[in-house]
Chain A
């Protein structure tokens, strides 16, 4: 558990989480050879919440998520997931979380059903056949479930990737651009499904996105990153009020172009 572990905030988190956190990141830094991808960030994410990680290209969102997953080792700082230090305790938590990212694909020659069967076994899912049938029904995969993953449209592939991410009914779901390159209808459909999943399972979702409407619609809280640092961290309403803007896209542009918050100029 995280109780008793002081997590310094930098910059100050406007959305403090009391009690155990689903994710607790403290003084996290990642330096690659020529760049500082993540620069001393700290935040805690409450269980059962949806948090949006916003930022332009190179802001450090993907590196942050990769460090939470244990795919990238931090230069310094700590990450705790579901109460366990990562990557030291990864065996405790990897089965309880899952992810979807544009940086990975499902094996293209395997059918959707075969892919889900393989990943279901990796995650030791019980009653796997039923689970696959349930996912096929929930995510509307039935029509192409026996088709190779490589022969699907972009929208179908995204639904399959989401099915893989949900196969173990994760308590924590990490999503990197889950609706990128999807038509508005499919994207909206995915968002509805994620929202429903969170409500039904009390799951925690951390969502990195460029899509401001998506974040506005889904997220309880928004963390805005720029050049590896946290520029702002608050509820969506709190951020809109502070920047005196009507939508997150305007806030994003303010942050990207270095314009000050309302009242601080």
Chain B
């Protein structure tokens, strides 16, 4: 008896596993996809690594503080690549015109999103781990030397990247591939506001208020405190965690709302532009 007999209630690991299998088959079958994962982070690191070397030799104590620039580059890449990894896995379904198959299967939206989250971390690891090793080898900057705080930084950044990825996917689901550009550009809206390369105090007062509404700001401030003052600001990480929890919950709600809107408008049958 082969007929499917397992209950389709609740969150099912076998369905999440099926999606992970689908994305792993895709990655392994396509060397350009693998190279793309590593190529850009490496290029980023090399460029910024030389800049860091130059600044260290010529600037004051803050700029020299323990590779703050390279740390910022790597953490920004976690945020950006995390969202991109999520969105690209989702876009693969749109490009393949496979969304209808998935939505008609017992796969639940929450399981689909969990699979995309896991894939975002896997893709991130493929791209960023070589980048961190290069930083050690060529620029004498060991981000793992940060220790446990790195886990807090990483978790907060990846949570934000998932939330952004979920919202972007919902928008593409509702509006079709015409909205695909958002997947590549939306995170850059955050770049000046979350103060990746400079402290929040640089911003005008009204922009500081906005900056403190964004969880990654807490991470980058925390990183600077750690590298410049050797102080781990647990308070910043907890605030970021709470904001991320709210952001993720809101992103799930927005995705479900956009999915329903797509079903109302018949967009799932027309997943082109």
Contacts and interface: CB of A to CB of B under 8 A. Distances in A.
Interface of A: 30, 32, 37, 62-63, 66, 69-73, 87, 91-92, 94-96, 98-99, 101, 103-111, 114, 117-119, 121-128, 130-131, 134, 148, 164, 168-169
A71 B100 contact: yes
Instruction: Give the one of A101, A104, A105, A111 with max B CB within 10 A.
Output: A104
- The secondary-structure label for the interface of chain A is mixed
Contacts of B99: 104
Contacts of A98: 104
Contacts of B15: 121-122, 124
A123 B22 contact: no
A121 B8 CA distance: 12
- The secondary-structure label for the interface of chain B is helix
Nearest to A164: B101
A91 B103 CA distance: 11
Instruction: Give the one of B25, B26, B107 with max A CB within 10 A.
Output: B25
A61 B172 CA distance: 26
A72 B105 contact: no
A36 to B, nearest CB: 13
A59 B17 CA distance: 39
B22 A91 contact: no
A124 B12 contact: yes
B106 A118 contact: no
A104 B106 contact: no
B60 to A, nearest CB: 51
Contact of B4 (A30, A70, A104, A169): A169
Contacts of A148: 29
A94 B108 CA distance: 10
Contact of B3 (A66, A114, A130, A169): A169
A240 B18 CA distance: 47
A91 B106 contact: yes
B57 interface: no
Contacts of B3: 125-126, 168-169
23 contacts: A66-B266, A71-B104, A72-B263, A91-B106, A94-B105, A95-B4, A98-B104, A103-B97, A104-B99, A105-B98, A106-B96, A107-B26, A107-B92, A108-B96, A109-B30, A110-B22, A114-B25, A121-B18, A124-B14, A125-B2, A126-B4, A134-B2, A169-B4
Nearest to B6: A124
Q: Which 7 A-B pairs have CB atoms at the shortest separation, nearest pair first?
A: A121-B18, A124-B6, A104-B100, A131-B2, A105-B97, A168-B4, A169-B3
Contacts of A122: 15, 18-19, 102, 105-107
A70 B263 contact: yes
A134 B3 CA distance: 12
Given A71-B269, A72-B266, A103-B97, A127 B105 contact: no
Interface string B19-51: 101100110011000000000000000000000
A91 B8 contact: yes
Given A32-B266, A103-B97, A109-B30, A123 B25 contact: no
A168 B12 CA distance: 17
Contact of A95 (B8, B102, B264): B8
Contact of A72 (B8, B29, B97, B269): B269
Nearest to A96: B4
Given A72-B266, A126-B5, A130-B2, A101 B26 contact: no
